[in-house]
Amino acid sequence: MHELVRRMYPLCRSITGDGVRATLDIVGEYVPLTVHEVPTGTQVLDWTVPQEWNIRDAYIADGTGRRVVDFAASSLHVLGYSVPVSATMPLSELRGHLHTLPDHPSWVPYRTSYYKPEWGFCLAQETLDAMPDGEYEVRVDSTLADGHLTYAEHVVPGQVADEVIVSCHVCHPSLANDNLAGVAVATYLARALTEQNPYYTYRFVFAPGTIGAITWLARNAERIDQVKHGLVLACAGDRGSLTYKQSRRGDAEIDRVLRHVLTASERPHEIRKFTPYGYDERQYCSPGFDLGVGSLSRTPYAGYPEYHTSADDPDFVSPEAMADTLAVCREAFAVLDRNRRYVNLSPYGEPQLGRRGLYDSLGGRSDAKQAQMAMLWVLSLADGGHTLLDVAERSGLPFDTVAAAADALRDAELIKA
């Protein structure tokens, strides 16, 4: 995953354009993608697909021709969606188009102007401080024209048509944690699920933030009832502890599953309530759709100094952190996939487990007593209204133990889904 982050890092991504396509081309080497191109001007809910932005070169050069700021060195150096410009101007005039971080003088900020025609450069404060007064050549070789918004999907077929969506944004330029770590984790999660036979169908959405998710929702509104659960992945690779942000509902099944998995694993973590600000969970959870979609990250957006700066580079994310995020996703979806409601087929009194060989089957298990209790709990709560997660939470037993007990009782025809 870390190598995938490094491969994608140099590309200049935005909400549209060839940088998004190039990123999806790389992801497509790992999992097959269906790529969608939505034309400029398409109405998507309350929004309109904007013009497509592409950039070839940009720089600020001093009187000697030396490039003081060079897009070729980092895609962060240009204000996202900058309109074309070719001019010579004094530093006093240029300053109004320059963005820096005085509190972190060696870092370059990430700034955009998607829906207001503007141009600008982002640079280190120490670079600006070293620029003497004088004339500077300014050039942004970009195009803003009718084109397309690009997003992609990868679908892992399940035993049922009901879907779990996994969404990540592909619109940020050279930012490793806020963008690419989530893309990498989603990619490898898709590969892992493909090797299994999941119960749910898993749909992975690789789309630009906000406008991309809105476009996906607009194009899938008629089949949105198939989406039963969802997870947005972002900031998935920094060294902070895990953070889960609940869906708007607050008690959606995905919320309970993530809370259970994180608590049972004894990982340091934080559970946060939903707020209508953040990543694309706010689009999926908007009241008209009200999907059960939460967001998993490590340190949340804007929660670390390197956020939206050049310091969010591949060295800022760690393979170990991404592996841990991936492991939690796999654990959570394993619970989600096995979380069923059962009905006790012998509900009058406790059925005799011994003559069915259920106690004997536990003889060699180190957790035989726990497994026996799990059977009794499943039988007690198998009334068609309780899920296995309900059983695990109420009994205090591990979900895997409860699910294994349910499997044994089902095989003995004592319960049915």
- Could you tell me which residues are annotated as the binding site? 172, 178, 308
3-state secondary structure of 385: strand
Residue 401 region by backbone torsions, left for phi larger than 0, else alpha for psi between -120 and 50, else beta: alpha
Identify whether the C-beta of residue 194 lies closer than 8 Å to the C-beta of residue 31: yes
3-state secondary structure of 142: strand
Angle formed at CA 323 by CA 214 and CA 32, multiple of 5 degrees: 50
Q: Name the one residue in this structure whose structure tokens are 């009200």.
A: 290
The DSSP H or E segment spanning 260 is helix 253-265
Identify whether the C-beta of residue 168 lies closer than 8 Å to the C-beta of residue 212: no
What residue numbers does the annotated binding site for Zn(2+) cover? Answer: 172, 178, 308
Identify whether the C-beta of residue 219 lies closer than 8 Å to the C-beta of residue 242: no
3-state secondary structure of 20: helix
Contacts of 47 (CB under 8 A, 6+ apart): 211, 214, 215
Within 10 angstroms of residue 133's Cβ, the number of other Cβ atoms is 8
Identify whether the C-beta of residue 99 lies closer than 8 Å to the C-beta of residue 121: yes
